[in-house]
Amino acid sequence: AQKVTQAQTEISVVEKEDVTLDCVYETRDTTYYLFWYKQPPSGELVFLIRRNSFDEQNEISGRYSWNFQKSTSSFNFTITASQVVDSAVYFCALSEPDSWGKLQFGAGTQVVVTP
């Protein structure tokens, strides 16, 4: 069963619009880690954020922000004032205690930002 669901396959926006990527996860553990990675057209995986299950504070890093809500098992990612360079595939991932080191990825969301 898919443990990480990214329901949005592709999102297209015009530059300067905000875009929110949804991530819903499933786990029985109380301790776990959540991640977001960016994969630009060049193909490498770029680490964006790691969040542990005990830290529910929202985080902002420049134009990026993350909303972690344990009550709904969601860890959503917002890009504010999008730019063409934000065009990429974004992956949400989960790591659980019985398999530390293994990331369970969602299917990814393709973000297309047009000028």
Partner 1 sequence: EAQVTQNPRYLITVTGKKLTVTCSQNMNHEYMSWYRQDPGLGLRQIYYSMNVEVTDKGDVPEGYKVSRKEKRNFPLILESPSPNQTSLYFCASSQQGAVSYEQYFGPGTRLTVT
Site of interaction with partner 1 (CB under 8 A): 4, 6, 9, 33, 35, 43-45, 47, 50, 52, 91, 93, 100-103, 105-108
18 or 56: CB nearest partner 1: 56
Residue 34's CB: how many other CB atoms inside 10 A?
A: 23
Cβ at position 90, least distance to partner 1 in Å: 11
82 or 95: CB nearest partner 1: 95
Integer Cα distance of 102 and 18 in angstroms: 31
13 or 107: CB nearest partner 1: 107
Cβ at position 84, least distance to partner 1 in Å: 22
Q: Are the C-beta atoms of 69 and 77 separated by less than 8 Å?
A: no
Cβ at position 112, least distance to partner 1 in Å: 15
Question: Vertex 16, ends 77 and 7: CA angle to 5°?
Answer: 35
Q: Which residues contact 12 (CB under 8 A, 6 or more apart)?
A: 112, 113, 114
